[in-house]
Structure 1
């Protein structure tokens, strides 16, 4: 086109399905540049978007167009000339709002430009009517044309028929007829546009119903996800409680392991004491046995000594009693006087 864009943004471009008039059909695989242009040759504003070398949007903004926000990031408008509905998906609500503001601004500019164009057309048509009427109001005589009465055309007899000349209303009537035809054509165009807009409105109404259904489905999905998030939060809190309980159990296990270690050390100490006691018991038994053996030996020796002493005593006693009797024998004893 040659003009520079007035405003540009990036969005995903969609068009309404021409068959179903309900579903959106993406016309770009990714986000593309969507720009506003001013066509100075036709005094109109356009929305143009290119996907490579292909024009996927070429829409002329008219005063009767309306840009509708259908969600936080999606907007649409109907183009009756292109017989379609365009949809734009933006990356944020801010970009959508900015595009909608520019649409309203250029729509108002298009309305003012159209009004000025109509006023200019009316102003150019009015002087031509006045000049044509003024010329016809004055008689077309040689005096009025030349300004003098000196030069006259050849006399014409009064009986001759007058020359056929256009009446004063002939030119304005033909001009008004042309204007009437123009407005009739404009009216027919407006009726056609009105019919297209009505059809687009019906399509938009159907789309609104579908979008309401989709919105209800999205709300239901959002509620389900919210419940799922709540459940996960509960599970997370339970997991935290389990983790805390696990930590406490680990601490208890560690304390029990330390206690068990102390008990094992105590058992080892007791085993050592038992071994020592056994050794002492063995030593005691050995000493007891030795003592018994020693006691037995000592008792035998003592008895032997006692027997020897008794024998000596008896011998002495007998010797005392039998002194003087000479040799005296006694069974088991040999006594000499």
Structure 2
């Protein structure tokens, strides 16, 4: 029922600058999912891409459209109804060729569907049954935004190829300069890694909180739609006549209700997963506080060791001064001793001479 995705890929999405008609303006900060959808009730093909809850591509494929490959990883097509030119940057040439192949395939299918539709209009003047049932498409699907009328347009001049997207630089680690001990460096490295992980978890938690609010709004919209469909089923059961059509519509509405219930269940599971992530973030915060306390204790210990080292250096300097003074005293004693020895030698020589003279 309604539109179903038949092919999906990932690419960076761009739109032509409406002012210059030459430069590309990125509409997504990172690569997003780009899908081909087929509406069986209207027999049309569309290209849909969502960035969060925002539709950045909603283009109906017509026989007049042309997908142009401007480089090995970039292609574009013009949408006259949206009055813009879309550009896609792929991660490899293989993805680009596959997307272009599907574009040509669905473009031919759209041409054949248009010819059949024209033939039916020539054969009968009454509206087709498909157009009547096409109005029952659920308004909650993101594929139902914008119309599906056939488009006419030509591809403008090929703009310059946009620069390849670069990955954002990784977060710098906080430097810690403590040369007192190797264990201090170990704690500093762990604390820096933990701070980086904590920053990432904080960003993920903020993003998850925003997504939770958005999903809650979607859940409320799904519940309202489910109630409306239940009321619609009750009304259809009360209507007499056209039993076959009513049963068919009832079956389709029941399928829609089942799909909405499955979507609600999926959102509830996603909320549970986010709660677990929040608990994990709290555990990381506790570990961070523990490591911070250990680092403070290590710094205090280092300060104590540095004070003891200063005292030892002062004692060593005093010992060196005392040793130098002692050496000076020894030199003075040696010089004095040398003088006394010299005097004794002269006295001995004098005595010897006196002894020899007296003999």
Query: What TM-score do the two structures reach when normalised by structure 2?
Result: 0.37
Query: What TM-score do the two structures reach when normalised by structure 1?
Result: 0.39
Structure scoring higher RCO (CA < 8 A, sep ≥ 6) equals 2
Of the two, which has the highest radius of gyration? 1
